[in-house]
Structure 1
């Protein structure tokens, strides 16, 4: 009886993953997607409540996320390496619980897609296209995202490889010009741990822990596309470490230039820091580099969240082609950007301060732990 059940599970898994087998990406492409996905948060205000110790909170959040990815997410993936997380939920809890839970996760991905799209539209219209209405920018962004999603994850992976090179060039230029401008003040980092570890840990867990590093959970939807599943741990761990060190260094640099108060009150700290660059009265106004970084990072972030919505719906409704969901999903996301918040302050505050406690603690930590425990129990029962 157990052999028959196991064969049935394998057959069903093969049917669901048939679409995924047509497209695979390699380790470099997966690393590029993960790295740019996390690094996109470099233009947001992370851990400002920790004052001059914000960089420590970001570093601790990285370590927590690394442990969660290595010991929980990868373990879940290893049980069903051909299925996205929405498919694994049905295997762990049966379709009666797994399908509703999958819809909850799809709704979460949908909200984050809308949030990131609106954020990108607000930033572009504020700093580049001030005369362009936000809906026009959002429409163009979603049009490009939809086309990229239609082409598939392989094209998105190759695009990320190219964009990663430009992000490295932007980062190198930015760091060199900040140092050459002589605007770094090490005293702004002092006193370190002025109020002890408690404020730092409060900011790190769950805030820095869930955003941006906890969002690596999304890749449970994409790891089945990796052409060598055994490299999932290595690829993800390296991307978390590299992006984590990059974010830590960047916010360390921001605090040394702007000071803790300056980093806290500004909407985009990185943009304010770059605005102070002045190398011999020749190299100035490097704002375009920051905006370019923002657009590159958020293009990848929105693309992946949107793709997760589409393939999640495809998996839940057992359809053969995910492309049929692209236009309906993009249309709903476009409409939702009008209602996500009155302004950048409102929806960003909800995203950074309330969502980690209300939604992301159970969805990114609680339920995955229960899923992993359930899979362990099921595996033990099958062996016995």
Structure 2
């Protein structure tokens, strides 16, 4: 399976538990946002969590928790991007049998940097592109085409390795 797992049998159980746990957290946050803001404001808001946090007022003492919410969002995005970056570098390193992990990190980082420059130069352009054209330009290749091609490549490589060993 993978050398990063100590117990191979726990992979499916851990994945299902994490999906259920994160789904429950997202459902709870969404229900909280609906109860605080209402459906109409929730649909129009770009960051409903930030608007919900702005409504906190405990005895006119604990207020303005916006800074904490923004810091949580920034830290969350940083960790999410770091995990995706590291996973991509490990995948490239292992899939292409590279000699150095540093080269894989540099290659993936360069691809991410150049694609970020090409896709959108600023935040408003990013939002416009994401709503209009990126659904076909980005999502189709990155969520369907590339995983299918890589899965086929791994399957063929494993098939040829098994045939050579027998």
Please confirm whether the aligned pair reaches a TM-score higher than 0.5, indicating the same fold. yes
Decide whether aligned partners of structure 1 residues 285 and 305 sit closer, same or farther in structure 2, where only a CA change above 3 A counts: same
Secondary structure, counterpart of 1:283 in structure 2:
coil
In structure 2, what is the Cα distance between the partners aligned to 1:272 and 1:352? 27
In structure 2, what is the Cα distance between the partners aligned to 1:317 and 1:360? 18
Decide whether aligned partners of structure 1 residues 312 and 238 sit closer, same or farther in structure 2, where only a CA change above 3 A counts: same
Name the structure 2 match of 1:267.
Answer: 46
TM-score of the two chains, using structure 1 as the length reference = 0.34
Deviations 1:271-330 (A, max 9, x none): 011111111211111112222221232222111221233223222432232112323432
In structure 2, what is the Cα distance between the partners aligned to 1:323 and 1:361? 26
In structure 2, what is the Cα distance between the partners aligned to 1:287 and 1:270? 10
Deviation for aligned residue 1:254? 0.5
In structure 2, what is the Cα distance between the partners aligned to 1:335 and 1:359? 17
Higher relative contact order (CA 8 A, sep 6+): 1
In structure 2, what is the Cα distance between the partners aligned to 1:335 and 1:276? 40
What are the within-5 Å matches in structure 2 for residues 269-308 of structure 1? 269-308=48-87
Decide whether aligned partners of structure 1 residues 363 and 338 sit closer, same or farther in structure 2, where only a CA change above 3 A counts: closer
Name the structure 2 match of 1:243.
Answer: 22
Decide whether aligned partners of structure 1 residues 235 and 328 sit closer, same or farther in structure 2, where only a CA change above 3 A counts: same
TM-score of the two chains, using structure 2 as the length reference = 0.73
Q: Are 1:258 and 2:37 matched, yes or no? A: yes
Name the structure 2 match of 1:317.
Answer: 96
Decide whether aligned partners of structure 1 residues 357 and 335 sit closer, same or farther in structure 2, where only a CA change above 3 A counts: closer
For the 8 Å contact 2:98–2:104, the answer to whether it is kept is no
What are the within-5 Å matches in structure 2 for residues 16-55 of structure 1? none
Deviation for aligned residue 1:237? 1.1
Name the structure 2 match of 1:349.
Answer: 131
Give the RMSD, CA atoms, in angstroms: 3.3
Name the structure 2 match of 1:186.
Answer: none
Long gaps (5+) in structure 2: none
Decide whether aligned partners of structure 1 residues 239 and 347 sit closer, same or farther in structure 2, where only a CA change above 3 A counts: farther
Long gaps (5+) in structure 1: 1-80, 83-223
In structure 2, what is the Cα distance between the partners aligned to 1:335 and 1:354? 19
Deviation for aligned residue 1:332? 4.0
Decide whether aligned partners of structure 1 residues 360 and 253 sit closer, same or farther in structure 2, where only a CA change above 3 A counts: farther
Deviation for aligned residue 1:353? 5.6
Decide whether aligned partners of structure 1 residues 229 and 351 sit closer, same or farther in structure 2, where only a CA change above 3 A counts: farther
In structure 2, what is the Cα distance between the partners aligned to 1:274 and 1:349? 26
Decide whether aligned partners of structure 1 residues 290 and 347 sit closer, same or farther in structure 2, where only a CA change above 3 A counts: farther
Decide whether aligned partners of structure 1 residues 306 and 293 sit closer, same or farther in structure 2, where only a CA change above 3 A counts: same
Q: How many residues align?
A: 152
Deviations 1:68-99 (A, max 9, x none): xxxxxxxxxxxxx03xxxxxxxxxxxxxxxxx
Decide whether aligned partners of structure 1 residues 311 and 360 sit closer, same or farther in structure 2, where only a CA change above 3 A counts: closer
Deviations 1:136-172 (A, max 9, x none): xxxxxxxxxxxxxxxxxxxxxxxxxxxxxxxxxxxxx
In structure 1, what is the Cα distance between the partners aligned to 2:64 and 2:143? 40
Deviation for aligned residue 1:251? 0.5
Name the structure 2 match of 1:128.
Answer: none
Name the structure 2 match of 1:358.
Answer: 140
